[in-house]
């Protein structure tokens, strides 16, 4: 059964009506002038060795979503959100981390549910990170439908990865994007904040964790790619650190059970080593 959330309509200010022609022109110019950057290249999965490979099985993370999932603004996935997130989780957990990514540039939440989630890595991850929202914002997805889309997306991930923790990355602070002029930036930013509140409610209702994006990151132009819209590698690193801190993961790896007297210690260790392979 599809999950639905209660929704309160947010009235639009009547003061924006006279600005409609200006906003339309600014939106058209922004789309035409913003450089089109390619998704990151390189492997869509990776493995980072921990300090003690035999201490615990590798922690597995899958990043699913739109342009930020596929690393638009970076040259390689290892220098985009998946790679930097794996590095941050390795430091936090003191474990090896295996990562993979499934995404589509320009995808809406509805498309991610229908097309991206089904083809994501089938291995059982410990953590799934979702990035979505900006394309629904640009396309002015009605807010009631956005609420339903987010509930469906979280539910689809839950159905596919029942044992994984789910982290929903919050909407970016669009009101600070350098590529977007005022007053369009103000209008889109206000709508993005409303969408983020709906996203938070959907995450909570679906048993996921919502991680709001730190607005301070958007004040540093160096954290944006050349299009002024997507993160640069430095931006992905900063964002990944925040997401790793917010991720609902064990603080420490579970200690290995002591071997019984007379048991061959190579047996259990061999089992643990086999489990640390990449996704």
Classify residue 209 as exposed, middle or buried by CB count within 10 Å of its CB (0-12, 13-18, 19+): middle
User: Cβ–Cβ contacts within 10 Å for residue 92, how many?
Assistant: 18
The DSSP element (H or E) to which 222 belongs, if any, is none
pLDDT at 22: 52
Q: How far apart are CA 64 and CA 46, in angstroms?
A: 15
Each residue's pLDDT expressed in tens, for the chain with a length of 279 residues? 444 444 334 444 444 455 555 555 455 455 556 557 889 999 999 999 987 767 778 999 999 999 999 999 999 999 999 999 999 999 999 999 999 999 999 999 999 999 999 999 878 999 999 999 999 998 899 999 999 999 999 999 999 999 999 999 999 988 888 777 777 888 888 999 999 999 999 999 999 999 999 887 777 888 988 887 789 999 999 999 999 999 998 755 444 444 444 444 333 333 322 222 222
Tokens for 189?
Answer: 């930013």
Sheet holding 45-48, edge to edge: 45-48, 97-103, 59-65, 127-131, 165-169, 209-211
Residue with tokens 């990514």: 101
Where are the domains positioned within the chain? 38-247
CA 52 – CA 164 distance, rounded (Å) = 23
Give 106-126 pLDDT, tens digit per residue: 999 999 999 999 999 878 999
Residue 99, SS3 per DSSP: strand
Q: How far apart are CA 150 and CA 66, in angstroms?
A: 14
Write down the mean pLDDT value for the chain: 81
CATH class of 38-247: alpha beta
């Amino acid at each position: 059964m599809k999950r639905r959330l209660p929704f309160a309509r947010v009235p639009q200010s009547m003061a924006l009506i006279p600005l409609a022609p200006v906003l339309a022109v600014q939106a058209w110019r922004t789309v035409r002038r913003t450089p089109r950057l390619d998704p990151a290249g390189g492997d869509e999965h990776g493995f980072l060795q921990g300090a003690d490979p035999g201490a615990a099985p590798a922690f597995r993370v899958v990043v699913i979503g739109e342009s930020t999932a596929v690393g638009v603004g970076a040259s390689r996935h290892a220098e985009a959100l998946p790679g930097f997130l794996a590095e941050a989780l390795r430091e936090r957990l003191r474990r090896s981390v295996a990562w993979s990514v499934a995404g589509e540039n320009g995808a809406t939440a509805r498309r991610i549910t229908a097309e991206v989630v089904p083809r994501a890595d089938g291995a059982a991850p410990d953590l799934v990170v979702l990035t979505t929202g900006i394309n629904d914002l640009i396309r002015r997805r009605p807010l009631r439908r956005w609420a339903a889309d987010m509930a469906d997306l979280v539910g689809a991930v839950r159905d596919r990865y029942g044992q994984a923790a789910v982290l929903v990355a919050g909407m970016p602070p669009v009101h600070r994007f350098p590529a977007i002029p005022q007053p369009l930036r103000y209008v889109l930013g206000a709508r993005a904040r409303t969408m983020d509140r709906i996203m938070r409610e959907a995450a909570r209702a679906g048993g996921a964790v919502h991680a709001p994006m730190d607005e301070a990151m958007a004040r540093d132009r160096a954290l944006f790619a050349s299009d002024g819209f997507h993160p640069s590698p430095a931006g992905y690193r900063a964002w990944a650190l925040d997401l790793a801190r917010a991720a609902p993961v064990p603080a420490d790896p579970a200690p290995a059970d002591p071997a019984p007297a007379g048991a061959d210690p190579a047996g259990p260790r061999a089992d643990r080593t086999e489990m640390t392979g990449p996704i």
